[in-house]
Structure 1
Amino acid sequence: MDHDIVFSFFLVFSGATIFATLALFTRQPLLIAYIALGALVGPFGIGWIEHPESLSDMAHIGIIFLLFLLGLDMQPAALAAVLRKATLVALVSSLVFFASGYGLTQSFGYSQMDSLAVGLAMMFSSTIIGLKLLPTTVLHHKHIGELMIGLLLIQDMLAIVSLILLGVMSGESKMPVWQPFVALPVLAVGCYLMVKGVLLPLIARFDRYQEYLFILAIGWCLAVAEGAKVVGLTHEIGAFIAGVTLATSPIAQFIAISLKPLRDFFLVMFFFALGASFNIGLLSDVIVPAAILAAIVLVIKPVTFRLLLARFSERRALAWDVGFRLGQISEFSLLIAFVALQSNLLSEQGSSLIQATAIITFAISSYIVVFNYPNPIAVKDELRRD
């Protein structure tokens, strides 16, 4: 049945209140509650929300704000230093993950294109799961936070190239593969000059008007995010660049605190939309390969990151911490499945395999982190860090 947007918001947030309460009483991660709610009331469940795509589009804004806030707390010099270390680790690990996904999918008799898409989907880890479950103080002021951001940014660039290649293979994209790598430094320099020449003088003149600063921050974030999309990057990378270039402002922390509730609002919608978009009816067709693929992800990603980071003199405990926090597939994996399916490069069964693997790894990796590592939603008091 069709309902207006107010009813959809009512279902998302009133339902999330009930499910989150049950999750807290039963000591479960809140993210799982939001996904379960979406699966229950979505088109493949009760059907109270038939078209979750509109909510999914809005939920994407939460990821954009998340990357913007991360950029606000990272100085350009620190970013350059961590990227030098993260690049080789990200490239080598991505090759390992691609080979694992491709080989397993082939062994189950999937087509070459399905196997290729699954291999690409395996390469990436979730920005939301990885960073949302890091305590704020660790994320912004400790080496692990910088290292994870570096790894995820390199993965984002690889995801962009993967999406371009899929577009070229389908005949729908005319963008050359090299374009994002040229666009990235050009966009960064342009944003730096814009901040120095326009934004910082405006902030200095009107810093007593908090409402103006709030609107200025949102406008800057979304403007650069959209600009990044136009030149062949992603909204997320654009938002991160917007944050990094504004990080030198004296009000960067004020902006970060102001936008945090807005970010959380949209992230709840993201996990709801993820649950609502999964076709439960196809689960029986892919449950065995999805379970095995998810098990491989949950094992091979922590081990791979542990071994690679150890070669760069990272402490053993930190390397395992990073590995488990990045031990799932990504939102980009879901986007690859969607683009490949729309371009007739991926079968519906292959798309369902990627979606099922994503949900399984999102859920189990969240459990692993929530019950074993410091995080903002830990069920144990000694692990809870905001």
Structure 2
Amino acid sequence: MEASIVHSFFLIFAGAAVVASIALYTRQPMIIAYIALGALFGRYGLSLITEPKLMDQMSHIGIIFLLFLLGLDMQPSHLINMLKKAAWIALLSSIAFAAVGYIVAIAFGYTKTESLIIGIAMMFSSTIVCIKLLPTTVLHHKHTGELVVGLLLLQDMIAIGVLLELNSFAAGGDGSAMQFLKPLVALPLLVGGAFLFVKYILIKLITKFDRFHEYIFLVSIGWCLSMAVLAEYLGLSAEMGAFIAGVALATSPISQYIATHLKPLRDFFLILFFFTIGASFDFSLLGVVIVPALILAISSMLIKPVVFRFLLKGIKEDPSTSWEVGFRLGQVSEFSLLIAYLAANIGLIGTAASNVIQATAILSFALSTYVVILNYPNPIAISDKLRRD
């Protein structure tokens, strides 16, 4: 096992270094290169990676750290105000995107149940892609970022509800009401407990031992992962717990020091995440799913900006910000992949429908990344003019 992990890491990171160099020379986004590397080395390509489940679990840590670091940049008062403003926008837009996915799936002959699941998968945008491409250092982009993050968090709440319902269905429908009630009660308790713990314990510990940089690094990781695990135990998502952990620390001056020192660790795990996406796709079904997936991905990129432009007008956002938010949210989500896997495992959808969702996610990640890096400020822009971190 140990040799296998070392060999897998060698292939992934040596390969990532090569494809990243090629991507930079050819002025392509590195995210796409990592996905392509996964497709090449994964079990449906050259089958060089023998631990796909382990890679998937480790890549999940990258998303947790990404949300933790994002939380460190969010002031609680601004975030609460944005969530209040964006709640109805998230709900109406999700319904619109689900309708588009359902109509396209029905048109390609999928069953009503499969079409409904495909429609639901279209409701959400990718937290990891959006935040990876989001600058936060300029005041205007902080506002754009707050809008994007507020909508993503509300979508995550809807996605958690969908996953709970699917889990309930898998269990035969027992305890469905309790499954929904538990996270609704747990969320305010988790938020309140996090802020109290940070104020009365964590900050005092960090202040007392702030000369030991290794200690701050260790405590930060422990705090992030503890909140992630606790959130999962309470029926929420690990990502949400990590985000709350970050926001609870955001009012402290130490937050930016922590953010700076955790970024390399985050990037390490995010490479695994994008690699795993490419490695998990079954290319033997490509001929069956490519046309509906391409139509769904293009529909997502074209319709989401229009819907968000129309809805954000209702809260007096200017047109340029509304369009930018819409294009940044133009892809489907990693939650869509989870929904596809779970729905296929419990027999709600067939293999073809599951792979349509997976292919749509990969294509929309690629299309969205190209649109954003070529048109809007982001940390990995090809153009020096647009590069912001």
Shared topology, TM-score over 0.5? yes
CA-CA distance at 1:141 after TM superposition: 6.5
Task: State the partner residue of 2:279.
Answer: 276
Q: How does 1:59-208 map to 2 (within 5 A)?
A: 59-138=59-138, 142-171=142-171, 174=175, 175-208=178-211
In the alignment, the residues of structure 2 paired with residue 87 and residue 158 of structure 1 have an alpha-carbon distance, to the nearest angstrom, of 11
Post-superposition Cα deviations, 1:6-60, rounded to whole Å, max 9, x if no partner, equal: 1111111110111111111111111000000000011101111133121111011
In the alignment, the residues of structure 1 paired with residue 132 and residue 267 of structure 2 have an alpha-carbon distance, to the nearest angstrom, of 10
Q: Is the 8 A contact 1:24 1:30 kept in 2?
A: yes
In the alignment, the residues of structure 2 paired with residue 295 and residue 207 of structure 1 have an alpha-carbon distance, to the nearest angstrom, of 50
In the alignment, the residues of structure 1 paired with residue 146 and residue 276 of structure 2 have an alpha-carbon distance, to the nearest angstrom, of 29
SS at match of 2:65: helix
Tell me which amino acid in the other structure corresponds to 1:89: I
Tell me which amino acid in the other structure corresponds to 1:233: L
User: Is 173-182 or 236-245 further displaced after alignment?
Assistant: 173-182
After superposition, the Cα gap between the structure-2 partners of 1:362 and 1:353, relative to the gap in structure 1 and judged at 3 Å, is: same
Instruction: Give the TM-score of the pair, scaled to structure 2.
Output: 0.96
Tell me which amino acid in the other structure corresponds to 1:165: E
CA-CA distance at 1:250 after TM superposition: 2.3
Would you say 1:364 and 2:372 are equivalent positions? no
Where structure 1 has 5 or more consecutive residues not aligned to the other structure, the ranges are none
CA-CA distance at 1:281 after TM superposition: 0.7
In the alignment, the residues of structure 1 paired with residue 357 and residue 314 of structure 2 have an alpha-carbon distance, to the nearest angstrom, of 31
In the alignment, the residues of structure 1 paired with residue 191 and residue 384 of structure 2 have an alpha-carbon distance, to the nearest angstrom, of 41
Number of equivalences? 386
Task: State the partner residue of 1:319.
Answer: 322
Where structure 2 has 5 or more consecutive residues not aligned to the other structure, the ranges are none
Q: How does 1:215-234 map to 2 (within 5 A)?
A: 215-234=218-237
Q: Is the 8 A contact 2:327 2:372 kept in 1?
A: yes
In the alignment, the residues of structure 2 paired with residue 318 and residue 48 of structure 1 have an alpha-carbon distance, to the nearest angstrom, of 44
RMSD (Å) for aligned C-alpha atoms: 1.6
SS at match of 1:178: helix
CA-CA distance at 1:196 after TM superposition: 1.7
Task: State the partner residue of 1:377.
Answer: 380
After superposition, the Cα gap between the structure-2 partners of 1:135 and 1:189, relative to the gap in structure 1 and judged at 3 Å, is: same
In the alignment, the residues of structure 2 paired with residue 140 and residue 306 of structure 1 have an alpha-carbon distance, to the nearest angstrom, of 17
Q: Is the 8 A contact 2:228 2:238 kept in 1?
A: yes
Tell me which amino acid in the other structure corresponds to 2:217: F
Task: State the partner residue of 1:10.
Answer: 10
User: Is 338-347 or 13-22 further displaced after alignment?
Assistant: 338-347
CA-CA distance at 1:170 after TM superposition: 2.4
In the alignment, the residues of structure 1 paired with residue 111 and residue 221 of structure 2 have an alpha-carbon distance, to the nearest angstrom, of 44
Tell me which amino acid in the other structure corresponds to 2:143: H
Q: How does 1:267-346 map to 2 (within 5 A)?
A: 267-346=270-349
CA-CA distance at 1:138 after TM superposition: 4.3
Q: Is the 8 A contact 2:20 2:30 kept in 1?
A: yes
Q: Is the 8 A contact 1:286 1:349 kept in 2?
A: yes
Instruction: Give the TM-score of the pair, scaled to structure 1.
Output: 0.97
SS at match of 2:74: coil
Give the share of equivalent positions with the same residue, in percent: 58
CA-CA distance at 1:140 after TM superposition: 9.8
Q: Is the 8 A contact 1:144 1:318 kept in 2?
A: yes
After superposition, the Cα gap between the structure-2 partners of 1:336 and 1:138, relative to the gap in structure 1 and judged at 3 Å, is: farther
After superposition, the Cα gap between the structure-2 partners of 1:139 and 1:283, relative to the gap in structure 1 and judged at 3 Å, is: farther
Q: Is the 8 A contact 2:136 2:142 kept in 1?
A: no
Post-superposition Cα deviations, 1:127-178, rounded to whole Å, max 9, x if no partner, equal: 1111111124149962001111100000000000000111222226634323
Task: Pick one of 352, 355, 358 that aligns with 2:358.
Answer: 355
Task: State the partner residue of 1:240.
Answer: 243
Tell me which amino acid in the other structure corresponds to 2:91: L
In the alignment, the residues of structure 2 paired with residue 104 and residue 145 of structure 1 have an alpha-carbon distance, to the nearest angstrom, of 31
CA-CA distance at 1:203 after TM superposition: 1.3
CA-CA distance at 1:3 after TM superposition: 6.0
Post-superposition Cα deviations, 1:203-261, rounded to whole Å, max 9, x if no partner, equal: 12111111001100000000011000001000000001111111122211111111011
Q: Is the 8 A contact 2:331 2:368 kept in 1?
A: yes
In the alignment, the residues of structure 2 paired with residue 185 and residue 178 of structure 1 have an alpha-carbon distance, to the nearest angstrom, of 12
Q: Is the 8 A contact 1:371 1:380 kept in 2?
A: yes
In the alignment, the residues of structure 1 paired with residue 73 and residue 179 of structure 2 have an alpha-carbon distance, to the nearest angstrom, of 33
In the alignment, the residues of structure 2 paired with residue 379 and residue 101 of structure 1 have an alpha-carbon distance, to the nearest angstrom, of 32
In the alignment, the residues of structure 1 paired with residue 139 and residue 337 of structure 2 have an alpha-carbon distance, to the nearest angstrom, of 25
In the alignment, the residues of structure 2 paired with residue 93 and residue 119 of structure 1 have an alpha-carbon distance, to the nearest angstrom, of 12
Tell me which amino acid in the other structure corresponds to 2:24: L
Task: Pick one of 209, 213, 232 that aligns with 2:212.
Answer: 209
